Every structure is written in structure tokens, then in C-alpha cells.
Amino acid sequence: MSSIWKNRLSLSIFGQSHGAAIGVTIDGIPAGESIDFDALDAFMLRRAPGRFPWTTPRKESDTPEFLSGMVRGKTCGAPISAIIRNSNTRPADYESVKKIPRPGHADFTARVKHGDYVDLSGGGHFSGRLTAALCIAGGICLQILERRGIFIGAHISGVGKAEWFFDPMNINEVLLKSLHAMDIPVIEPKNAQFVIEKIECAKKDGDSVGGVVECAAIGLPVGLGSPMFGGMENRISQLVFAIPAVKGIEFGAGFGAAGLRGSQNNDPFIINGGQVQTATNNHGGILGGITSGMPLIFRAAVKPTPSISQAQKSVDLDKNESATLEIKGRHDPCIVPRAVPCFEAALAIAVYDAILEK
């Protein structure tokens, strides 16, 4: 099933954007793990809509309601099931999209696959709203990892294109936690205004803009993951592509490595404090699908929000003729700022799953 991810951990994500609720069932987390619900709510708030002028005006609390798997604030070994009730829905805004699909959305492919019964209100099950459920699971995993000395954080690497990057050799807990506290998470605070101006400019034009998010994990032991299909890149990528707007991912030097020679791209091994490390980190903390102990770093490309207020060319599927579409409803001119915690969640799930396997 496409909405189930399974390895040592198992995730099942359910619901639709304008349905009664969305949610997740998480199986495989051992009993006895403490969950700080206030910290989880704070994490969820970073992704929630309606908080700033540059986000959709749709307001949802995004507070998880736990139905099972928890006893007195600790996991009990049973599957954890949690829902977020949708309270601010407007399905009438999407009546026309079954007939005239929105360019860039899943409306056309979803209708062909599921027929007239498909729910496309707000994107239905294809909506970025479902990433809130992913963040419930990821937020829990983040807390468990931090108790093991593993820290994860992400920042906006650029709007439109990647412009700012982590120092691949010097990422620390203080930096990663500082990003969690920012409305616009950027390494250099001065760049936040640049991001806002880019988004506001697109919004003024009735358009949208994409960007790049860079995510890192530190404190990882050597030896997580495996070659071939169980490699860390594979696990992380599968979870990252559950974020609907993602169109590409790269690890370490990524596509830049294609322009280097082996003598430039290879990371020499050194002894530092009695530990084997690498002098550089072009490999992004993964060798042969297995963590090397260096900071794990990846970047993901996020496409512009497909829903824009400009008139667009489409087709009338019922009449089989050309049509013009003007989209109604509430949409983000740029989803990159709200997507940042989603990438942290995806990485946390992949890392914790690999730890359970090891």
C-alpha cells in the first residue's frame, strides 16, 4: 500500500485534507519511551498553517489526539495511533477540479486512477496536509533520538535555488536547535528577510515560488544502514518523497560531485582524538549506504505551490475540450518554510528505524 511505510518501524498514514481527520498509526516503538507532549505540540506548530502572512490563511490547531499506544506519557509497546481533527474545511472550493484538473496537481491522475469517487477537496489524500501526520511520527522519533545524543535540524537553503549551506564539517547541537526556534529557519538570520521578500513578490504576482531545504543529523554512530535497498539514502529518500512537493534529493556534495575528479571528491581518512574520521565530508555522512559517523547531510528540492491565482490552461475532462482554470481557495505562495520540520521528521524516522534494526 502506498500510504504504509514498513521496516523495523511501520507507519500508516490516513485521512484527507478536508475530511473529518488525518492521522497516523506507528508500530514498532518499544515500550517505556517518554513523550513530551508540549515539545511535540511545539514541533507540530512549526508546520501548522495560518500563522503568518506568507502562509495559507487556513487555520488548524494541528494538535495530535492520541487514541492508543500511550500510558501515562510513555509508550506501552502497542501501536501508537493519533489523529488531528480537521476543523476549518471548505470542500466547496474544489467542486470544479474533478472536471477541470489543476495544472501541477494530482487531480488528473487521481481521477483517472480512482474515477468519480476520488476526493480532491484540498488535494484529498494527495494533500500536503498529510505531512502533519508524518510530523507526529517524526516528532516522537526526534525526542527518542535526542535522548541518545542524536540531533537533527534543517534550514532553508534558498528560495528559487540553493544559496546557503551547512558547513559539512562543523554542525553542532546549538546551531540545529536554534533553527527550530526560527519562523524562517536560516543559518544567517539576515537571510530571513530575503526569503520573505521573495515569497511576497510571488504572492503579489498571483504566483508561487519553490526552494531548497537542507537537513542534517549529528551524533550518529558508525554502522547504521546497509548496502543496496536498505541503504540510508534509500530509506531517507522514500520518506522524503512522502512530502508531496519534493522533486529531487541529493546527499553530501550531491550532483556537484559529478563535476569533480575522484581525487577531489574522495574524503581522506584521518585519526582525530583516537577516532577514525574523514578530513572532508563530500559523502554526506553515508558510505555504501552505511553511516560513517560524520554529519549526515541532504538537500531536497521543493517545487513551487501548484495552486496560483493566475488563470491557467487546462482541459474539461467531461467535455474533452480545452478550458481555462482560475483556482479558488487558500494556498501557500511558498510551502518551503512550513516544509522544514517535515524533512526533520522524515530523517528522524529513517534514523530511528536504522537504530532499531542495528
SS (H, E, C) the chain: CCCEEECCCEEEEEECCCCCEEEEEEECCCCCCECCHHHHHHHHHHHCCCCCCCCCCCCCCCCCEEEECEECCEECCCCEEEEEECCCCCHHHHCCCCCCCCCCCCHHHHHHHHHHHCCCHHHHHHCHHHHHHHHHHHHHHHHHHHCCCCEEEEEEEEECCCCCCCCCCCCCHHHHHHHHCCCCCCCCCCHHHHHHHHHHHHHHCCCCCCEEEEEEEECCCCCCECCHHHCHHHHHHHHHCCCCCEEEEEECCHHHHHHCCHHHHCCCEEEECCEEEECCCCCCCEECCEECCCCEEEEEEECCCCCCCCCEEEEECCCCEEEEECCCCCCCCCCHHHHHHHHHHHHHHHHHHHHHHC
- CA gap 60, 157 in Å, rounded: 27
pLDDT digits (tens, 9 = 90+) for 16-39: 988 899 999 999 999 999 999 999
Structure confidence at residue 123 (pLDDT): 83
Examine the pLDDT at 1 and tell me if it is beyond 60.
Answer: no
Topology (CATH) of 4-357: Chorismate synthase, AroC fold (3.60.150)
Query: Would you give the end-to-end CA distance of the chain in angstroms?
Result: 26
Lowest-pLDDT range of 81-95, 137-151, 308-322: 81-95
- What are the boundaries of each domain within the chain? 4-357
- Kindly report the pTM of this predicted structure: 0.95
The pLDDT of residue 272 is above 80: yes
**Cell (9 digits) for 257:** 560531485
Per-residue model confidence (pLDDT) at position 94? 65
Could you tell me which residue, 127 or 149, shows the higher pLDDT?
Answer: 149
pLDDT in tens, 174-216: 999 999 999 999 999 999 999 999 999 999 999 999 999 999 9
The tens digit of pLDDT for each residue in 86-142 reads 986 666 666 667 789 999 999 999 989 998 888 888 788 989 999 999 999 999 999
Spacing of C-alpha 121 from chain mean position = 21
- Return the number of other C-beta atoms located less than 10 Å from residue 72's C-beta: 6
Q: Chain-wide mean pLDDT for the chain?
A: 93
pLDDT of the residue at 89: 61
